[in-house]
Amino acid sequence: KDMDRRKLERRLFVLRKYASHRIYQTYPQTLDQFYIASLSYKTVVYKGQLTTSQLRPYFPDLHDDRLASAIALVHSRFSTNTVPKWKLAQPFRYIAHNGEINTIAGNLNWWKAREPLIEGGLFTKDELEKIWPVCGLELSDSGNFDNVLEFLVLSGRSLPHALMMMIPEAWQHDDDMPEHKKAFYEFHENLMQPWDGPAGICFTDGILVGAMLDRNGLRPLRYMLTDDDLLVVASEAGVLEVPPEKVVRKGRLQPGRILIADLDEGRIIEDEEVKDIVCRNKPYGEWLAKNKLTLDELPEGEPVTDTMDAQSLLRRQQLFGITREDLRMVIQPMAAQGKDPVGSMGVDWPLPVLSQQTQHLANYFQQLFAQVTNPPIDPIRERSVMSLHMLLGSSGDILEPDELHARILRLEHPVLTNQQLSSLRHLAHPHLRAGVVDMLFPADGQEGRLEAALDHICAAAEDFTRNGVNILILSDRRADARHAPVPSLLAVGAVHHHLVARGLRTRTSLVVEAGDVWETHHFATLIGYGANAVNPYLVYATLEKLWREGAFDRQPAA
């Protein structure tokens, strides 16, 4: 009977997605006008661009005594970062969300890259074709989060499991966290990028109901339990008037924690028990111990040196646009202090599109973030919730979690030394293969050379990936008088989106060996547009020369 109900729920989901897609395709003008709020045997969603006091009069069902439910999920707030629309009003089908998913652009792009590999789970191939795409640009960050959560749950994962994948705890620097829980989070890194940002989420599938807080704890969530088993979770205390003598327990949900009430079992399940059940479901620790690699475990490649003769170094610095100001104000201070150099508050240079000087391609891009509603994050004092590590290798079907997903190379940070890159370049491993694609084009001045080179780079990357190469090294090191370097950011973006379009992106990782990388912003844009690791070989050669010239204090810091 339960199986029949779950099957019915999946069929209703497929019907809703298929009908919505067909209507949007046939009548594109209905994109903002047509929306199925809910289609489920367990839950019903009432929503609108209404104030709280308008909701009950607007829906006659809500003042009918025959309507009864053990669960009520309520969301009432203004739209802060999207234009108000009825279809974007909350709650959604599974969640009510207070906050912002700051990583939404990356989450949507990576989900798009993963969809072509999905074949498993409880849906048939024909049903999956009717479901795609799960996400949509016309939806808000919360709406897309809800869509992915719903798909994962209906595909066979438990609701807590799916939530822990999407909003993981800050586990990397937590020495007190049990090893089996760390193994769960580390394993799922290769399956799902975190949906990160301030988030207080209440959720339900009609059987389980609960709340979860983001790992930074940037949104408030208060809970209260009464002696007659009324559980209230809200962003503020005192949302419902309850006599104090009836309250048996109350408190604040901690960062990264989850609280669940199970209606079938008639009990509250605490964070530790929920996560212990989920994390012990598979032998994640054994899979990682058997398959995961680190750079220290790789055999050394051919010996490499950072040294270049003075004339060759100068020519390359000129080729890639490193100026004396970059040497004095950026590269040397960064190496001496081990951090991004601090300058004045203002930015006095013109916008790149208006500048009369040649600009680095990365200067045309700026970070996108919600400045108004997010508190500042200090990466030093809040190191416990920060991580720079990256994964190299391939990822398969997100619905088939097995030890194949543990065949990864873990990097502590995305910046590689020349020797580390040499180890990758000469990698000989059953599950990890590297290939090199040159980011070059003929420097003969003929029209169309750069565009043709990008096409060639993308085709070579696709060919390598189809033949099992899961570490692609994009390199401009062989640039010379006859071959000019393609800007690394342009090449990375082109390859990333080409592989996404071919359904191949998650089968490989991108490593960049480039001379046009020396500022933190250069690294950030490369990683933001698809790179998994970066080797700034020209900076190393520059620093080696500065060291020989006595530009640094050779005494170790106290």
DSSP string, 107-121: HHHHHHHHGGG---T
Distance in angstroms (rounded) separating the CA atoms of residues 417 and 423: 10
Q: What is the pLDDT along the chain (558 residues), one digit of tens a residue?
A: 666 889 999 999 999 999 999 999 999 999 888 999 999 999 999 988 888 888 889 999 998 999 999 999 999 877 666 677 888 889 999 999 998 898 899 999 999 999 999 998 899 999 999 999 999 988 999 999 999 999 999 999 999 999 999 999 999 999 999 999 999 999 999 999 999 988 999 999 999 999 999 998 888 899 999 999 999 999 988 889 999 999 999 999 999 999 999 999 999 999 999 999 999 999 999 999 999 999 999 988 788 877 889 999 999 999 999 999 999 999 999 999 888 887 766 667 788 998 888 899 999 998 776 555 556 667 777 778 888 999 999 998 999 989 999 999 999 999 999 999 999 999 988 899 999 999 999 999 999 999 999 999 999 999 999 999 999 999 999 999 999 999 999 999 999 999 999 999 999 999 999 999 999 999 999 999 999 999 999 999 999 999 998 888 765 544
Beta-strand relationship, 95-99 and 208-213: unpaired
2-290 and 310-343+352-548, same CATH topology: no
The pair of three-digit structure tokens given for residue 38, joined into one six-digit string: 């809910």
Helix axes 284-291, 179-188, angle to 10 degrees: 70
Does domain 310-343+352-548 bear CATH number 3.20.20.70? yes
The pair of three-digit structure tokens given for residue 220, joined into one six-digit string: 């408030």
Question: Which H or E run contains 305?
Answer: none
Q: What is the pLDDT of residue 558?
A: 43
Please count the CA atoms within 13 angstroms of the CA of 20 that sit on its side-chain side: 23
Distance in angstroms (rounded) separating the CA atoms of residues 459 and 542: 33
Helix axes 488-501, 104-114, angle to 10 degrees: 50
Asked if residues 551 and 528 have their Cβ atoms less than 8 Å apart, the reply is: no
Distance in angstroms (rounded) separating the CA atoms of residues 399 and 118: 7
Distance in angstroms (rounded) separating the CA atoms of residues 199 and 210: 14
Distance in angstroms (rounded) separating the CA atoms of residues 227 and 207: 21
Read off the amino acid at residue 143: G
Distance in angstroms (rounded) separating the CA atoms of residues 305 and 317: 17
Question: Which H or E run contains 453?
Answer: helix 449-466
Give residue for tokens 């709650």.
Answer: 91
Distance in angstroms (rounded) separating the CA atoms of residues 157 and 527: 30
Distance in angstroms (rounded) separating the CA atoms of residues 255 and 211: 11
Question: Which H or E run contains 389?
Answer: none
The pair of three-digit structure tokens given for residue 39, joined into one six-digit string: 């289609």
Other C-beta atoms lying within 10 Å of the C-beta of residue 193? 18
Question: Which H or E run contains 189?
Answer: none
Other C-beta atoms lying within 10 Å of the C-beta of residue 318? 10
- Residue 469: name the closest of 417, 499, 431, 513 by CA: 431
Q: What is the pLDDT of residue 296?
A: 92
Q: How many separate helices (H) and strands (E) can be counted in the chain?
A: 17, 17
Q: What is the pLDDT of residue 198?
A: 86
Distance in angstroms (rounded) separating the CA atoms of residues 417 and 421: 6
The pair of three-digit structure tokens given for residue 187, joined into one six-digit string: 């394993």
Q: What is the pLDDT of residue 555?
A: 56
Please count the CA atoms within 13 angstroms of the CA of 21 that sit on its side-chain side: 15
- Which residues 6+ apart lie within 8 Å of 73 measured at CB? 91, 96, 202, 203, 204, 209
Distance in angstroms (rounded) separating the CA atoms of residues 328 and 549: 14
SS3 at position 39: coil
SS3 at position 99: strand
**CA dist 475 → 333, 453, 478, 538 (Å):** 26, 13, 8, 12
Q: What is the pLDDT of residue 470?
A: 95
The pair of three-digit structure tokens given for residue 316, joined into one six-digit string: 């390359």
Question: Which H or E run contains 284?
Answer: helix 284-291
The pair of three-digit structure tokens given for residue 556, joined into one six-digit string: 């170790």
The pair of three-digit structure tokens given for residue 284, joined into one six-digit string: 């994640």
Distance in angstroms (rounded) separating the CA atoms of residues 149 and 155: 10
Q: What is the pLDDT of residue 307?
A: 81
Q: What is the pLDDT of residue 370?
A: 57
Range list of β-strands (E), 194-254: 199-204, 208-213, 222-226, 231-234, 247-252
Read off the amino acid at residue 41: Y
Domain coordinates in residue numbering, the chain: 2-290, 310-343+352-548
The pair of three-digit structure tokens given for residue 83, joined into one six-digit string: 């234009």
Instruction: For domain 2-290, give the CATH number.
Output: 3.60.20.10
Beta-strand relationship, 509-513 and 471-475: parallel
Asked if residues 353 and 370 have their Cβ atoms less than 8 Å apart, the reply is: no
